[in-house]
Amino acid sequence: MSVVFALATPPAKSAICVFRVSGDGCHSALSKVFSGDVFPPNRFSVETLRYKNKIIDRVGLVVFGAPKSYTGEDSFEIYAHGSLAVMSNIVDVFKELGFEEAPGGEFTKRAFLNDKITLVEAEAVSDLVDSTDDRGVVLSNKTLFGELSSKVVSFGEEIDSLRVGVEAEIDFSDEDNDYFDSSLMLELSSLIERFGLFVGACISKRVGDEKNNIVLVGPVNSGKSSVFNRLLGFERAIVSSLPGTTRDMIGSELFYKSNSFSIFDTAGVRETSDVVEKQGIDISMSEVKNADLVLGVFEKNIPDEIDYFKNMCDEKSFVSVLNKSDLNKKEGVFDCFVSAKTGEGFSELKSIIENRFNSGVKDDGYDFLIKERHENLFYSVLEDLEKAKANLSKKESLELVAEDLKNARSFLDEVVGKKFSDSLLGDIFSSFCIGK
């Protein structure tokens, strides 16, 4: 099968990130990025990853030969430093090598098809391959994705309606209808402009340079780590109902609506004799000094407690959150009520955070975080729409314009769903009087 790659660890700042690559012929690419020609399998080695004379990182490399690999194909894994810059550089290199970003569940699917995992394990695969977002994109907020896809769906429909006219002119040119006029060019240009804006807005600041630091504070066992995990969308901090579980600062990146935030979980504040935990508290106090926004997480409505934390952060932007809203009454002067357990209130919390950072910034209405795979699809759509426009303005034959539009539309299949040729014909028949 073709060579695919994936980041096996979450796309967040961490000590190490792991890339997995699998597919026929992927080994021959090794000599293009590492020095040497021979890469014996099943041995860990430290290598310098470079591409076109640019050093990217010192990484760990393990090569697996078919069938002795997870997928049963030739494959290799790279252990690189976990900075976002390194990650995105490696992704770029892989793409230039012609590797494709693996859709969700691809590795497990291949493992199964090559008899590498058992039937029972395979059952678990079905959940994987059917989920749209299993590979750790930080926000797997369904409504967010739904919003994005409804936008894309409407672009898809616009392409479809252009295709109706063009395809009708090809298949029914001997009928006495005017399927389109000069407005086709105008509509196409307008679509390109709006779609371009949309894509641009989607990906700008996707891996932003500016750090928007958020620190979580609050009394012990108010559920800060659970809130932290909920915000990130995956398990990062250890959570237990015992007070004082979080002792070190835990930081991670949160992406939301084209913004990136560094978010830090801290130990709770209480009178403590535990020396280790005391250190944790000291760290969190100093971290508050570097914060741009402080998120106070509470489990009870005690005004004094809230004031204590509010005062602690001086003039920093402070957002007070009452957690455990599934157990508590929604009372008090909190900015927001959430339940880390059920997920209730988190969309609101995220937009409050976002508004604090973006107050005064114009909302262009297209703030979506997209996966790199989607980004590529969208670029391909744009490219083909541009091609259609060029062919149209050069007065090239219409079947080429039709082909460009068809290709553009097919990239949206994954998000929008396929358009079967028969439904396109249906649109033609309902729009025009066809038939002798």
Partner 1 sequence: MYKFDVVVVGGGHAGVEAAHAVYRLGLSCALVTLNKKNIGQMSCNPAIGGLGKSHIVREIGAMGGIMPIATDMSGIQYRTLNTRKGDAVQALRVQCDRDLYKKAIQKTIKETDIKIFDEEVVDLIVDKNQVHGVVTSKQQLKAKKTILTTGTFLNGKMYTGNEINKGGRLGDTSAIPLSKRLYDLKLPMGRLKTGTPARIKLSSIDVSEMEIQPGEKPTPWMSLYNRPKKHQRQTPCYITRTNKKTHKIIEENIHLSAMFSGNISGIGPRYCPSIEDKVSRFRDKDSHQIFIEPEGVNKDLVYPNGISTSLPKKAQEEFIYSIKGLKNSVIEEYGYAVEYDFIDPRSLNINLENKKLKNFYQAGQINGTTGYEEAAAQGLIAGINAAAKILNQKEFVLKRSEAYIGVLVDDLTTHGITEPYRMFTSRAEHRLMLSQNNAEQRLLRKAFKRGLVSEQRYNEFIKNEQKYKNFLTETLSKKKINSFINNKNINIKLDEKKSVLDLLRRTDANKEKVFKTNPSNKHLYQRAITEHKYQGYIKKQLREIKKTEKQENKKIPNNIDYNTIAGLSNEVKEKLKKTQPTTIGSASRMEGVTPAAINLILIQIKKREAFKQNA
Per-residue three-class SS string for the chain = CCCEEEECCCCCCCCEEEEEEECCCHHHHHHHHCCCCCCCCCCEEEEEEEECCEEEEEEEEEEECCCCCCCCCCEEEEEEECCHHHHHHHHHHHHHCCCEECCCCHHHHHHHHCCCCCHHHHHHHHHHHHCCCCCCCCCCCHHHHHHHHHHHHHHHHHHHHHHHHHHHHHHCCCCCCCCCCCHHHHHHHHHHHHHHHHHHHHHCCCCCCCCEEEEEECECCCCHHHHHHHHHCCCCCCCCCCCCCCCCCEEEEEEECCEEEEEEECCCECCCCCHHHHHHHHHHHHHHHHCCEEEEEECCCCHHHHHHHHHHCCCCEEEEEECCCCCCCCCCCCCEECCCCCCCCHHHHHHHHHHHHHCCCCCCCCCCCCCHHHHHHHHHHHHHHHHHHHHHHCCCCHHHHHHHHHHHHHHCHHHHCCCCHHHHHHHHHHHCCCCC
Region from 195-203, 210-218, 314-322, 413-421 binding partner 1, contact rule CB under 8 A: 413-421
Rule CB under 8 A: say whether 113 interacts with partner 1.
Answer: yes
Exactly one of 97, 122, 239, 319 binds partner 1 (CB under 8 A); which one?
A: 122
Rule CB under 8 A: say whether 173 interacts with partner 1.
Answer: yes
Rule CB under 8 A: say whether 171 interacts with partner 1.
Answer: yes
Could you tell me which residues are beta bridge partners of residue 265?
Answer: 250
Query: Is the CB of 157 or the CB of 414 nearer to partner 1?
Result: 414
Query: Which residues within the stretch 41-70 sit at the binding site for partner 1 (CB under 8 A)?
Result: none
Rule CB under 8 A: say whether 331 interacts with partner 1.
Answer: no
Exactly one of 109, 206, 236, 324 binds partner 1 (CB under 8 A); which one?
A: 109
Query: Is the CB of 221 or the CB of 380 nearer to partner 1?
Result: 380
Rule CB under 8 A: say whether 172 interacts with partner 1.
Answer: yes
Rule CB under 8 A: say whether 152 interacts with partner 1.
Answer: no
Rule CB under 8 A: say whether 386 interacts with partner 1.
Answer: no
Alpha carbon 296 to its chain centroid, in Å, reads: 27
DSSP 8-class letter at 27: G
Query: Is the CB of 304 or the CB of 422 nearer to partner 1?
Result: 422
Cα separation, 229 vs 240, in Å, equals: 12
Query: Is the CB of 18 or the CB of 113 nearer to partner 1?
Result: 113
Query: Is the CB of 344 or the CB of 383 nearer to partner 1?
Result: 383
Rule CB under 8 A: say whether 28 interacts with partner 1.
Answer: no
Give the residue among 76, 66, 1, 64 at the shortest CA–CA distance from 33: 76
Total interface residues for partner 1 by CB under 8 A: 51
Rule CB under 8 A: say whether 397 interacts with partner 1.
Answer: yes
Q: Are residues 260 and 19 in contact, defined by beta-carbon separation less than 8 angstroms?
A: no
Exactly one of 36, 46, 115, 304 binds partner 1 (CB under 8 A); which one?
A: 115
Rule CB under 8 A: say whether 427 interacts with partner 1.
Answer: no
Query: Is the CB of 158 or the CB of 175 nearer to partner 1?
Result: 175
Query: Which residues within the stretch 69-108 sit at the binding site for partner 1 (CB under 8 A)?
Result: 103-105
Rule CB under 8 A: say whether 24 interacts with partner 1.
Answer: no
Shortest distance (Å) from residue 7 CB to partner 1: 20
Shortest distance (Å) from residue 387 CB to partner 1: 10
Rule CB under 8 A: say whether 414 interacts with partner 1.
Answer: yes
Query: Is the CB of 342 or the CB of 421 nearer to partner 1?
Result: 421
Rule CB under 8 A: say whether 207 interacts with partner 1.
Answer: no
Helix, strand, coil percentages in the chain from 3-state DSSP, rounded to 5:
45, 15, 40
Rule CB under 8 A: say whether 423 interacts with partner 1.
Answer: yes
Exactly one of 15, 40, 176, 327 binds partner 1 (CB under 8 A); which one?
A: 176
Query: Is the CB of 4 or the CB of 49 nearer to partner 1?
Result: 4
Rule CB under 8 A: say whether 130 interacts with partner 1.
Answer: yes
What does the binding site for partner 1 look like in residue numbers (CB under 8 A)? 1-2, 103-105, 109, 112-113, 115, 119, 122-123, 125-127, 129-130, 167, 170-176, 394, 396-400, 402-403, 406-407, 414, 417-418, 420-426, 429-430, 433-436
